[in-house]
Structure 1
């Protein structure tokens, strides 16, 4: 059974609401992160993704990392270059096949990520979580799943 399509007007209103939410929430959380940790939001996203992927994979390759973050490969490469210059990550040739690079979180990167996490989570709660009910959160999770499944 197919779902009935929402009206075009409802889709446009929902899209506009989504964009306003991004403009309201994302900058506030990014400002808090930079103020509390000296990490940018992209720094934090990369450190988080590499840390998460390292628990399930022997090598965190640049290509799969870009896919995980849903970033263009060129964007990730530039971000990794900036982070490597700051000593947050290192890139090494993959030992498994010698092709491509593995991305590793350095000790300084791990320390920065672990120190930033509590304040970052508190910022997410302050700017996002506190205003939402359990039903709101469930709806957002379901929306993300529906959109991801459609890709």
Structure 2
């Protein structure tokens, strides 16, 4: 059996530091947002995606691709948000099995009120600790890893995520856009590209619609 290619001490420190950074910052941002707005991190992420979509609506499978959540998890999340009046389900006229998730007026008011607080929390717990050159380094690191992921997936025989190319492009040369995309701290990346549905209301994978 081939000897595992163990991480050396420096690599372990980098990897464990990245995991701790991701967990601790996200936990604080989500906790404070919940205290101040009553929105969970997952609710906020769904609302952001809908607020940026044309007409404030997306197909269920589009949200699932953007979130990279399991079908059951997203279904339960949407059900809870419908009960709170934050989103609504609407049928797709050209697909009897399909449905749209639509941002309600209450959902729009909630995300509009929460967004300034969220960005303030991200700045407080993340960017205020970094020097400008460290932000540039983070952009470069994110772009390098995300760009390589499709090739690494193929080497492992894994299907590529549809969001990888968009995320890598978002971390590309425009620093302002990259900062937002590479540091979105929540269930959904706030700058994720949403896959286009098959016309007119088609599903791309035959799963939950």
TM-score w.r.t. structure 2 length? 0.62
Residues paired across the two proteins, number: 144
Work out whether residues 59 and 94 of structure 1, in 8 Å CA contact, stay in contact via their aligned partners in 2. Answer: no
Match of residue 41 from structure 2? 41
The structure where helix makes up a greater share of residues is: 1
**Partners of 2:59 and 2:100 within 8 A in 1:** yes
Q: 2:70 corresponds to which residue?
A: 72
State the alpha-carbon separation in 2 of the partners of residues 73 and 138 from structure 1.
36
Residue 129 of structure 2 corresponds to which residue in structure 1? 131
Distance 1:58 1:22, change over 3 A: closer
TM-score under structure 1 length normalisation: 0.84
Go from structure 1 to structure 2 and tell me whether the alpha carbon gap of 1:90 and 1:48 turns closer, same or farther (over 3 Å shift): same
What is residue 93 of structure 2 aligned with on the other side? 95
User: Any gaps of 5 or more consecutive residues in structure 2?
Assistant: 1-5, 151-209
C-alpha RMSD over aligned residues: 2.2
Report how far residue 80 of structure 1 moved. 0.7
Q: 1:145 aligns with which of 137, 143, 146?
A: 143
What 5-or-longer segments of structure 1 have no aligned partner? 1-6
